[in-house]
Amino acid sequence: MKRKTARAIIFIDDKLCLIKRIKNENEYYVFPGGGIKKKEKGKQAVIREVKEELGIDVRVIKKMYKYKFGETKEKYYLCEYIDGEYGSGNAKEFNNYFKGKYIVTMIDKKYIPSYLIYPKEIKEKIIKDFLGENKIG
C-alpha cells in the first residue's frame, strides 16, 4: 500500500525539534509529521501533524526534501514556529503501548551529527544545509 507523509524541520532557538523513539530497546530520533489524508496537501498535513504531535502552530516556509523508502514517499518542509506550548501535543500514537515510547525533544543544532536521526539521508542533508559552509539557516 502506497503511503504519503509530510514531515517538519523546525528550529527553535537553534534547536532542532524531534521525536525521540524508544522501541524494542532501540533508541533513535525522527522528524515530527505523519500521513497525508485524502484531499489534503502536504503543507496542510505537516501543519496538522505538528499541532497534534508537538502542540505548536507552525508556518511552512518551503518544501526542502523528498525521500522514498519502500512504498512510502515523504516530503520534508522547513517550518517556522509561530505559537503554542512545545510538548503539549497529544497524538494518539504517543499513547499506544505497542508502538513504543514517543518523547518530544529538542537537540542543539551543533550536536545533530552525534545523534541517531532517521532517515539518515535527511539528517545528512540537514547537516550540509544548516551546519555546513553554505548553510541556509
**CATH number of the domain encompassing residue 45:** 3.90.79.10
Indicate the range of 27-41, 45-59, 83-97 predicted with least confidence. 83-97
Indicate the range of 78-82, 97-101, 116-120, 126-130 predicted with least confidence. 97-101
Residue 65 in domain = yes
For the beta carbon of residue 74, count every other beta carbon within 10 angstroms.
Answer: 20
pLDDT band at residue 99 using 50, 70 and 90 as cut-offs: confident
Domain housing 27: 3-108
pLDDT over 90, % of the chain:
82
CA dist 100 to 7, 19, 47, 94, 135, Å?
20, 12, 24, 8, 35
Nearest-angstrom CA–CA distance, 66 and 24: 28
Task: Look at the chain and count its residues.
Answer: 137
Q: Can you give the pTM of this predicted structure?
A: 0.92
pLDDT band at residue 132 using 50, 70 and 90 as cut-offs: confident
Residue 74 is predicted with a pLDDT of 98
Please give the tally of structural domains in the chain: 1
pLDDT over 70, % of the chain:
91
Nearest-angstrom CA–CA distance, 85 and 71: 34
Residue 118 in domain = no
